[in-house]
Amino acid sequence: MSSFETKGVVIKTQDFKENDKLVWIFTEKIGKITAIAKGAKKSRSKYLSVTLPLCFADYMLFRGKNLYTLSEGKINNSFQGLLGNLEKLTYSSYLCELIDICLVDEESNRGLFKDFVTCLYLLNTDAIDYELLVRAFELKILKATGYALKLDNCVLCNSRMNTGSYISISSFGGVCEKCEKEHGVYISKGAYNALRFLNSLDMDKMYRVNITPEIKEEISKVTSLIFSSNYSKKPKSLEMLDYIKER
Ligand SMILES: [Zn+2]
């Protein structure tokens, strides 16, 4: 067995046998992995705090035959503040679910890892529109998994587009006025421009963005259509998000 250290965030956990826990960690070095934390369910276990959902830590892991084994964890930020607020909890659970659903095991993606951690830090402050933050992360994860939205040129004829009013869901991008519109959705020019802006924005510049509720709604329609047509599993926390928004 070989051991190594990596930064990571716990995205999911499950009790395993009598005393152990299975922990899904999105790691910086090797992407999403499953690790066993032996004895983590015991009340005095040293793994108790580092195996809580959303914990961001430096983990020491052993690579076994089928699973990784957690041997050590040093917390950078436990993000437990996110767990105590229903809205923040729902948004952060949704981010974790997206990672779980969209990423292939053991495929490193340092850029996305950085965006994810930035996203958790921003959620943890009150300086930012959570919904917009989640939309921006959705666009990042689409990009990271090969479904980047193309909005500067028509996805069908490649002509330059200053703005647009139609997004093709099957071709992942804008369709110009001249091309045929199918398998997509009409949106306002404002939403098109906002989508393009978010699509190219760095996660740590998010605090500068201000977008109307109507446009946010349109953007959400586009991203959720793309997710539901490309990934077989649907995030459960989405329903909770809709419920929160309706209130
Ligand atoms: Zn075209």
Range of the domain at 60: 2-78
Of 204, 185, 183, 182, the residue nearest 195 (C-alpha):
185
> How many C-beta neighbours within 10 Å does residue 44 have?
6
Instruction: Specify the number of domains making up the chain.
Output: 2
Q: Indicate if 8 and 110 belong to the same structural domain.
A: no
pLDDT of 17 > 70? The answer is: yes
Last residue of a domain, one of 27, 46, 78: 78
Mean pLDDT value of segment 125-139: 89
Which is higher by pLDDT, 126 or 5? Answer: 5
Which pLDDT value is given to residue 1?
Answer: 54
Mean pLDDT value of segment 80-101: 92
Sequence-distant (≥ 6) Cβ neighbours of residue 244 within 8 angstroms: 86, 87, 90
Which pLDDT value is given to residue 135?
Answer: 93
Mean pLDDT value of segment 76-95: 92
| Tens of pLDDT, residues 226-241 | 998 888 888 888 777 7
Per-position DSSP letters for 175-234, written without gaps between them: --SSS---SEEE--HHHHHHHHHHHH--GGGGGG----HHHHHHHHHHHHHHHHHH-SS-
For a pLDDT cut of 70, what percent of the chain falls above it? Answer: 99
* Calpha distance 242→234 (Å, rounded): 14
Sign of the CA dihedral with 102 first, then 107, 111, and 114 last: positive
Q: Indicate if 100 and 70 belong to the same structural domain.
A: no
Q: Indicate if 87 and 58 belong to the same structural domain.
A: no
| Tens of pLDDT, residues 213-229 | 999 999 999 999 999 88
Q: Indicate if 107 and 166 belong to the same structural domain.
A: yes
Which residues are placed with Cβ below 5 angstroms of ligand 1, an ion? 154, 156-157, 176, 179
- The token pair at 26 is 């999105």
Q: Indicate if 58 and 89 belong to the same structural domain.
A: no
pLDDT of 168 > 90? The answer is: yes
Mean pLDDT of the chain: 92
Which pLDDT value is given to residue 247?
Answer: 63
Q: Indicate if 133 and 37 belong to the same structural domain.
A: no
Q: Among 33-42, 53-62, 237-246, which stretch is predicted with the lowest mean pLDDT?
A: 237-246
CATH of the domain at 129: 1.20.1440.120
Q: Indicate if 116 and 237 belong to the same structural domain.
A: yes
Q: Indicate if 51 and 151 belong to the same structural domain.
A: no
Q: Indicate if 46 and 141 belong to the same structural domain.
A: no
Distance 174 CA to ligand 1 centre (A): 8
* Calpha distance 205→232 (Å, rounded): 32
pLDDT of 90 > 70? The answer is: yes
0.75 cut: is pTM over it? yes
Distance 104 CA to ligand 1 centre (A): 33
Q: Indicate if 157 and 68 belong to the same structural domain.
A: no
pLDDT of 125 > 90? The answer is: no
Q: Indicate if 57 and 108 belong to the same structural domain.
A: no
CA 8 distance to own-chain centroid = 14
CATH of the domain at 73: 2.40.50.140
Last residue of a domain, one of 78, 111, 140: 78
Which pLDDT value is given to residue 71?
Answer: 95
Distance 173 CA to ligand 1 centre (A): 11
The alpha carbon torsion through 78, 81, 84, 85 (nearest 10 deg) reads: -130
Q: What angle do CA 129, 101, 182 make, to 5 degrees?
A: 80
